[in-house]
Structures are given as structure tokens and as C-alpha cells.
Amino acid sequence: MSEELFYHKGERSGMHFHGRKRSKGGVAGFVLAVAAAAIFVVLCVASAMAKGAAGVIVGGLGLLTMILCGVAFWLSLKGLKEQDVYTKLPFAGLLISGALFVVLFCLYIVGI
């Protein structure tokens, strides 16, 4: 068999294997992880502007962000387990959401 059946090297760098696709769950997990990171940055800025006394609303949004990280972690992990998919985005989503979940959990424990 010729090499053209297995991969196609286009103008972009890298190879594209036929039959592989983007995992929808992995992409969704990555997007949710990035959104959770953005929300975390906004909450940190709001807390800093209030000099640490931002109130219950910021704390509640932090808990919701931690839940969002858990969902993103689950979706990314599910996307990594699929067969014949690209794994860069699900792996990045897994790292971002996992690290952010640990940070938010530590902040929650310190806040208790």
C-alpha cells in the first residue's frame, strides 16, 4: 500500500492521519477548563480590589467554578479515552482543569 492512504502531509507542518478526528467531549472539556480559568482570574481580581473582603457572592462563584473544573476534567478524561482521536486538546483541558481544581480546593480548605 502506498503512504498516501495512511497520512497526508499538507502545506502545514505535521501529519494528518486519515480516520482521526477531534473528540467533541475533549474539545468541550478544554473550552470549559479555559472558561473556568478565566472566571478564576476575574474572581481573583474582584477579591483583590475588595482587599480580601469580596463577600459571599465571590465565594459562591468560586465553588461553582470548582464544579465547572470537575466537569471539564471529566469531559477531558472521557475525550482522552476515545479511540482514534487527537489528544492535544483533551490533555490540555485535563491539565488545566485538574490544576485549577486543586488550587480552588486548597483555597476552599483555607477559607473554612
pLDDT digit string, tens, across residues 1-57: 555 555 555 555 666 656 667 778 788 999 999 999 999 999 989 888 888 777 888
pLDDT band, very low/low/confident/very high, at 79 (cuts 50, 70, 90): confident
Would you say residue 42 lies in a domain?
yes
Would you say residue 79 lies in a domain?
yes
The whole-number average pLDDT for the span 87-94 is 88
Would you say residue 90 lies in a domain?
yes
Q: How big is the chain by its Cα radius of gyration, in Å?
A: 19
Q: Phi then psi for 33, rounded to 5 degrees?
A: -65, -40
Q: How far apart are CA 58 and CA 49, in angstroms?
A: 12
Helix, strand, or coil here: 17?
A: strand
How many structural domains compose the chain?
1
The whole-number average pLDDT for the span 74-78 is 91
pLDDT band, very low/low/confident/very high, at 83 (cuts 50, 70, 90): confident
| 15: Cβ contacts below 8 Å, ≥ 6 apart | 7, 8, 9
Q: By residue range, what is the domain housing residue 49?
A: 22-111
- Overall pTM surpassing 0.85 (yes/no): no
Would you say residue 16 lies in a domain?
no
The whole-number average pLDDT for the span 60-85 is 90
